[in-house]
A and B are shown apart, each in its own frame.
Chain A
């Protein structure tokens, strides 16, 4: 499926900002066989801004923007065309038992297992230790790994309420588990914490989701979306969307991944000056032929 995505971010700082630095992760990844990036443009409302492009540790493209001119508002426009292939090779019950996978990554022998091993531990937004008790209910002995992750996914989808404005970037996993509500980012963090609490590798994926495929509305379409990816020796990294109770296929467009939100936030900035800041994000995903 081919998509065209426009993603605009508007900062209104209230008072003049005298200098600002932003790190943007807005360029979709090229993923062999899954996702092809046809075109990507990024533009800023302040002309002549220095933009440095580089890659981060996880291979995501990073644009670092430096503004040393006075401004009160900043608008960042990102526009792309992406081709996403369906994923139909996943057979849940053919995946190895979760205990086997845990063994693989705790004493890794291949490069692939070493790569995966980095995603087994707590990170800034993922307090896996706090999810230990919550995770126990999913630890059915001998269960195929992907089946176990799907159970976590479904549980979160069923028992947690999608509700904006009750959480923020720094809401802890333990609070989301307790209050059972939040947005896609919180659900992703809870799911990752649960998977990691069992000693298994999980990463955070940032991206977009098609708003209205076949008349059915998916949650998380108006803004950037987030879901998780779990390493499974037979299939590689498999993506699950706990917000929509899905194994992702053709409707998810991947921007990038990391250990949690902090590694792949679409925008992250540091400003000098400014007053009360407001942020307005607008994401439009359209399928094109």
Chain B
């Protein structure tokens, strides 16, 4: 620094501790930072208000409505070309070493038997998966994506703090950060000549898609995620959209013969590559952890024999062990015959006597922790690299599961704090190396994590185009997988939609039944009405909508005061094992799982539905409040149905909702009519039936008299203009099924078409007068019973056929290759 140099800007709030490296070179802003800093601090007043760019970025983040681990700072992080090239060299070399170690550990294991790695380092680690022995992965590619945490020590040199080899998270966040930062600072982004991420992502995805096609004919690539409950799910969904790869869970996949298959509405589709976001042990309940719920039975075995390409390999988590740091220099020399370019933090593995003694002695100057169970990706706090943790409780661990690690004074970089001031904080970079056709490449960007007084924030890393070597971007990722057709609808999603349709309808039926219950109580207590009430109670029990305990009480005691007192509990007590509260929870869960297939309006209506009970203060002890509430439910449900009918495209998603609804409505109708087989049919009872089936008005309009049984049967069973009748449901199902994939058989009728036709004709030929009048000696209406039973069987067969054909894929599919 020459005498003449003057600090370019004054940053009154930017203070870097003397013993830390300053990315801004203590005010003598280095060339690569000058554009950024003059943009943020140049002409503007730094003393006061938050910068508009900052606010805009914040707003964009909120609009995306995603749960992000950290807040994004508008001020990007940047590095000079020369430094970036050195990092790329160092990190790609490291990726190669780690890949080769994985290949050896799951292959010949020479590093153990002759290479001098101690047994405890590998066999003591529960993340070493013994069943993955003799693991053959195409082209010896075990690690496709590796995350690295790096930090700069006071001498200006970069050090590797951690390697992430299991299923590195953060790519989605990089993309998102880039979108936000690029959108909020488009001019600066252009002027700095920032390299885009697209080429890297395409090259990475293209390579996997290519492996997929080589591994199995027409093999596609999928992203395997633990599902929406996982905190990183947003990232999996984001990447899925970006790459055009389906995001699937274990239950979406099945092993048939030697091939992994994706269950879709159209049938099974071969999968060649899997981008894995589930932990290795969680991927197979048959060969790995038996307690796993979201694995694929048999996956480990076909992965091991190279019939599906895993990114990363199952068992790659064995390298997420800080103890490896101390072995890496010698491993690099023996495997690559090169010197390790980028040093790690000095690490002592307590599985060795001398190292153990050293750590015990220097506890106060080290970070001491578990080797095998280190903190998850973003949980490793920046502070843990800088401060000793002398109080760490390691009582229960074996020495071979302990490490001591040197502490580092991390470099400081600028960020904008909540007051709008530019201040400094210790910084860790998360960079990614991905495998492409041309070998390992460093993603030209990444996440800079900065510790601030308000917790951790993230910054987008901008690298200029001349810094990183050009990555050859393939023209298109892959044609067949980039297309997201509705037919690729994963079977589990299809199943969810089907059940969502059923539950919505079930909810409506139940609410009508509750409404009858409450209104009959409100109206009075003649003997007839008492009898009706018992019928409704029984119906609710049969529908699983009334806990048996409460049903017993309702049957025994005088029900009016009881209902008035207890209606809230009956409906909404969260401890109820059955009933409306459970049903609403299920609807909410399913809607959440298929959220991306619903319109925003539909989603809001689903939300509103499950929020009804919380919306108002209801007066307990007053049944009329319960009635009002039930009316509200019916309104909301009708609104939702209207929304689905009117605004949803007739995709497979809609068809499945419709099939679920029709099946359920048919079954509800049959269940309600079942009482007619034995019941003496008073007109009050028939009114109740019409009420439950929402057909009272139609009846009055059509017959204009007191209900008779044969008119009633005609209306509820055989009238194809009544949208509540059984025949109406059958014809609707017929029509929708005709448009479903796999149901257009080449040779005559499919099984579902056949049973639907039989049922339809049976109804056509049924005679209401006979059904009403033919009574057996025991007092049963035998004709009616026969028709009802046949219809019940039809609907339940249909439901099972759908499960086998579309959801489980066990129908008419070959069981062997």
Contact = CB atoms under 8 A, between A and B. Distances in A.
Contact of A50 (B112, B297, B815): B815
B30 interface: no
Given A114-B112, A117-B119, A64 B301 contact: yes
A56 B286 contact: no
Given A68-B813, A262-B290, A270-B286, A105 B119 contact: yes
Contacts of B256: 66, 68
B810 interface: yes
B746 interface: no
Given A18-B810, A129-B398, A270-B286, A114 B130 contact: no
Interface in B365-398: 396-398
B373 to A, nearest CB: 12
Contacts of A118: 119, 123, 130
A56 B298 contact: no
B500 interface: no
A57 B112 contact: no
Given A69-B815, A111-B113, A270 B133 contact: no
Contact of B123 (A48, A120, A170, A269): A120
A107 interface: yes
A87 interface: no
Interface in B391-426: 396-398
Contacts of B593: none
A56 B129 CA distance: 13
Nearest to A170: B291
Contacts of B809: 68
B113 A18 contact: no
Given A18-B803, A19-B808, A114 B396 contact: no
B286 A114 contact: no
Given A18-B808, A105-B119, A57 B815 contact: no
A18 B805 CA distance: 11
A136 to B, nearest CB: 15
B130 A259 contact: yes
B8 interface: no
Interface string B279-316: 00000011101110000011001000000000000000
B120 A121 contact: yes
B124 interface: yes
A127 to B, nearest CB: 10
Classify chain B's interface size. Answer: 20 to 34
Nearest to B285: A270
B126 interface: yes
A57 B285 contact: no
A21 B123 contact: no
A94 to B, nearest CB: 26
A126 to B, nearest CB: 11
A264 interface: no
A20 to B, nearest CB: 9
Nearest to B132: A57
A171 B348 CA distance: 35
A69 B118 contact: no
A70 interface: yes
Interface class of chain A by DSSP: mixed
Given A21-B297, A66-B815, A106 B119 contact: yes
Nearest to A269: B286
A114 B113 CA distance: 7
Contact of A270 (B297, B398, B813, B816): B297
A23 B287 contact: yes
A274 interface: no
Contact of B810 (A19, A263, A269): A19
Contacts of A170: 291
Interface in A91-109: 105-108
B131 interface: yes
A18 B815 contact: no
B335 interface: no
B118 A50 contact: no
Interface residues of A, number: 39
A114 B119 contact: yes
A114 B297 CA distance: 31
A40 to B, nearest CB: 22
B815 A68 contact: yes
Interface in B100-150: 112-113, 118-120, 123-124, 126, 130-131, 133
Contacts of B291: 170
Contact of A120 (B112, B119, B810): B119
A39 interface: no
A38 interface: no
Nearest to B807: A18
B810 A69 contact: yes
Contacts of A68: 256, 809-810, 813, 815
B133 A57 contact: yes
A3 B123 CA distance: 37
B804 interface: yes
B285 A108 contact: no
A170 B289 CA distance: 12
B495 to A, nearest CB: 11
A139 interface: no
A218 to B, nearest CB: 29
Question: Which of A49, A111, A124 counts the most B-chain CB atoms under 10 A from its CB?
Answer: A124
Contacts of A54: 301
Interface in A35-82: 48-50, 54, 56-57, 64, 66-70
B281 to A, nearest CB: 9
A272 interface: yes
A23 B255 CA distance: 14
A56 B809 CA distance: 29
Contacts of A122: 124, 126
A262 B291 CA distance: 10
Contacts of A57: 130-131, 133
A163 interface: no
A158 interface: no
Nearest to B134: A57
Contacts of B396: 129
Nearest to A273: B808
Interface in B771-817: 803-804, 808-810, 813, 815-816
A120 B628 CA distance: 68
A259 B808 CA distance: 34
B286 A23 contact: yes
Contacts of A66: 255-256, 298, 815
Given A111-B113, A117-B119, A268 B810 contact: no
A50 B130 CA distance: 26
A150 B354 CA distance: 34
Interface in A258-286: 259, 262-263, 265, 268-270, 272-273
Contacts of B123: 117-118, 120-121
Interface in A20-35: 21, 23
A106 to B, nearest CB: 7
Contact of B124 (A56, A70, A121, A270): A121
Interface in B647-705: none
Given A120-B123, A121-B124, A18 B804 contact: yes
B249 to A, nearest CB: 14
B286 A107 contact: no
A111 B109 CA distance: 12
A268 B290 contact: yes
A106 B120 contact: yes
Contact of A56 (B131, B803, B815): B131
A268 B286 contact: yes
Contacts of A106: 118-120
A131 B35 CA distance: 62
Contacts of B398: 129
10 contacts: A18-B808, A19-B808, A66-B256, A68-B256, A68-B815, A114-B119, A118-B119, A170-B291, A262-B290, A270-B286
Given A19-B808, A54-B301, A122-B124, 7 more contacts: A49-B815, A66-B298, A66-B815, A118-B123, A259-B130, A262-B290, A270-B297
The 4 closest A-B pairs by CB, nearest first: A270-B297, A117-B119, A21-B297, A121-B124
